[in-house]
Chain A
Amino acid sequence: MDKNRVVLKVDNLNVTYYLEGSSVNAVNGISFEAPRGTCFGLVGESGCGKTTVVRSILRLLPSNARLEKGTILLKGEDITKVKEQRMDSLRWAEMSLVTQSAMNALNPVARISDQLIEVFKAHGHHSNEKVIEKCLATFEMVGLNRNRFNDYPHQFSGGMRQRAVIAMAIALNPSLIIADEPTTALDVIMQAQILNLLSSLGRKQNISIMLITHNIAIVAEICQTVGVMYAGRLMEYGAIEEVFNNPHHPYTMGLKEAFPSIKFLQKKLVSIPGSPPLLTERIIGCPFAPRCPFAIEECTYALPKVTKIKEGHYVACHRYEEAWKLRENIVDAFSMNVWSY
C-alpha cells in the first residue's frame, strides 16, 4: 500500500457491544480507504453502525465495546495496536473530529479563543504570540471574523459554531478529518456553506475527509468515494459516479429514489417499508432481505459475499448480475409505498 496516497485504510473491522446477557454486532467486516485530499462518504440510516466506525477509528469506544477483528491503518501505522499515549498524540494532530451538534462540542463557559489555544497546549505548544497568530489565521481560514475571536459560544450562530469546531479540527494540520453528520442541525444555506468549506479545505490543505451522513444527496455533492452501510455491513462501496449511476444494491437504489430532487419535482418518492433489523438478534442471510422487494430464497439463508463488479466498485448482493433489471423496476417494486406527486 502506498502510504503517501492512502491516509486511512480500514480492513475487515468488527466491533461488538457486550450487554447484559446479549451482544450487538454493530460493525461487521467493514473495509474502506480514504485517499489523500479526497472525501469519502459513509451513508446509512440511524443505528447502522456509522458512529461506531468513527469511534473505533478514534478509539473512543465505550467500555463495553470490543474491537474483535480488523486493522485500521493511519498513514501505514496500525492504530488498533498502538499505546494509549501514542493515540493521544495522534488525535487532533493527525486525525480530528467534527461532530454533529457544535453546541455540545464547545464548552459554553469558555471563550472560543481559549478553546482553540487549548488544542495547541494539549499537544505541547506553549501559549505565545506565535500560537495565537496561528489560531487567528485558522480562524480566518474557516471564514470567521478575527474580531469575534474572544467571544463565547452562545454569541455565535449555529453555522459559526460549526465553523469554530472546524477551526479546531484543522488547527494542527491533520491528515484526516472525520465529520460525523456535520450539517444535520443546520438549514440548507448554512449546510451548503459548511460543505463548501470542508471540501475546499480538503483540497487546499490536502486533507482527507471522512463524511458520515444519512443524506445521500450531500455525498453526491462533495464526495469522491462512497460506502453504503446497512445493519453494520457495507452493502456497496465504490467511486461516486459508479455507485450513483450504476447502483448494484437494491438498498442503494431505494435510498436514491427516496430523496426528493429539486430538479425533478415529479419524481416519485419511494419509501422502503419496515425498519432495520435488531442487531441483538443473530441475522441469518442478507440483513436487508426482509425489506428488499427483490429478495429471493437464497437471500434468507445465505449471507451475500462482497463481490467486485469493476475496479474499485464492490457490492454485497446475491442478485448483482441482474442489477440492471432491478434498477428498471425499483420504483414499481416499492410500489406499495410509492408516493406520487
Chain B
Amino acid sequence: MIVPMNVVLGLSAVLFAIGAFGFLARRNIILMFISVEIMLTAINISLAGFCLHHGNLRGQVLALFVIAIAAAEAGIGLGLLIAKNRNKSGADVSDLNKLKW
C-alpha cells in the first residue's frame, strides 16, 4: 500500500472534525448543510481506505450509497429551506426560535 492506513484514517478524522465544527458553529443553514457534506466526504475517504486495506469492494459500494443519501439529504434540506423562505426570508438558524422554550 502506497499510503499508510493510519494516515488515511487520520485525514478522514480531521476532515470530519472540520465538518462537525462547521455544522455546530455556523449560523447560515446552507453552510451547515455544506458542513454535513464535508463530514460525509470524510467518511467516504475512510471507506475507500478500508476497501484498499481489506482488498474487497464493499467499502466502495457503501461509499456509493453514502453519496446517494447525501443527494437525498441535500434535496430535502434545501426544499425545507425554500418552504421556510416563503414565510420568513433569510437563512439564519438563530431566527428559527418559535419552538424554543
A binds B: no
